[in-house]
Amino acid sequence: MPTTIAVVEDDADQRDTYVDVLIANGYVVNAYADKPSAQSAFRTALPDLAILDIMLGQDMDGGFDLCMELRNQSQTVPVIFITARDSDIDRISSQRMMAWDYITKPVSLAFLVARVHALLSIATHLQSPVPNTTVLTTNELDIDENSMSIQWRGQRLNFTLTEFQIVESLARRPGHVKTYDALIDVTRQGLVEKNTINGYIRRIRSKFREIDTAFNRIQTVHGTGYKWAQD
């Protein structure tokens, strides 16, 4: 079946530009100018990937609302925000909604196509059946790659996709140092800096400590990266 991409953008010129380049690269594209039309379509059939503007006409957070609706229907549909809004608050909000990427306008069309290719490839990999995908790292940690969920001491943690990938990468090889470059690769994102990785680690630690105040398994290797402490 062809891969279907939804584009939700209120600016007609930008919307047509995204549609044209995606069709030229072999995708089926459904375009929407506002939240109500996209909502109606998503409730009928989910796209394989969604590209959302945040501000849709007079609806300042319309794209966020659509992302939350998509997440209620599917945890694995890739969502890309393309927006003129460049605040950390908006970026953090997108992460909490488990968006897979956040791109500020203007966007390079070549970069956009590359990100769409990459995220669809990741989504296909995640949906492929893999035997023995549940990884029991310790008596306290349980990682389930099928549901992309992590439990610590029997309690499930609410991680974004990127946070899940970082924890899984660290915990898979206890005691092994993951360099910043290696963790940047794990995020499968575009331009990521060391401070971005440090921010992810702070949020991950915070979520573990919400259920275990003494949590200290993720250890800093100064100047190099991080490791998951051995038992």
Q: Does the pTM exceed 0.95?
A: no
Read off the pLDDT of residues 126-136 as tens digits, 9 standing for 90 and up: 666 555 555 66
Nearest to 88 by CA among 199, 190, 187: 199
Read off the pLDDT of residues 67-120 as tens digits, 9 standing for 90 and up: 999 998 888 899 999 999 999 899 888 988 889 899 999 999 999 999 999 888
Instruction: Give the C-alpha separation, 163 to 166, whole Å.
Output: 5
Read off the pLDDT of residues 8-17 as tens digits, 9 standing for 90 and up: 999 999 999 9
Position 186 scores a pLDDT of 83
Position 149 scores a pLDDT of 85
Instruction: Give the C-alpha separation, 121 to 74, whole Å.
Output: 17
Residue 195 backbone phi and psi in degrees, to 5 = -65, -30
Helix, strand and coil in the chain, % to nearest 5: 45, 20, 35
DSSP H or E segment with residue 201: helix 194-211
Position 19 scores a pLDDT of 97
Domain count, the chain: 2
Question: How confident is the model over 196-217, as a mean pLDDT?
Answer: 94
Instruction: Give the C-alpha separation, 194 to 47, whole Å.
Output: 33
Last residue of a domain, one of 127, 156, 185: 127
Chain mean position to CA 26: 23
Predicted confidence (pLDDT) at residue 189 exceeds the cutoff of 90: no
Read off the pLDDT of residues 29-81 as tens digits, 9 standing for 90 and up: 999 999 999 999 999 999 999 999 999 999 999 999 999 999 988 888 999 99
Structural domain boundaries, residue 142: 134-228
Same domain, 74 and 21: yes
Same domain, 153 and 207: yes
Give the β-pairing of 134-136 and 49-52: unpaired
Last residue of a domain, one of 85, 108, 127: 127
Which of helix, strand or coil describes residue 173?
Answer: coil
| Angle of helix 180-187 versus helix 161-172 axis, rounded to 10 | 130
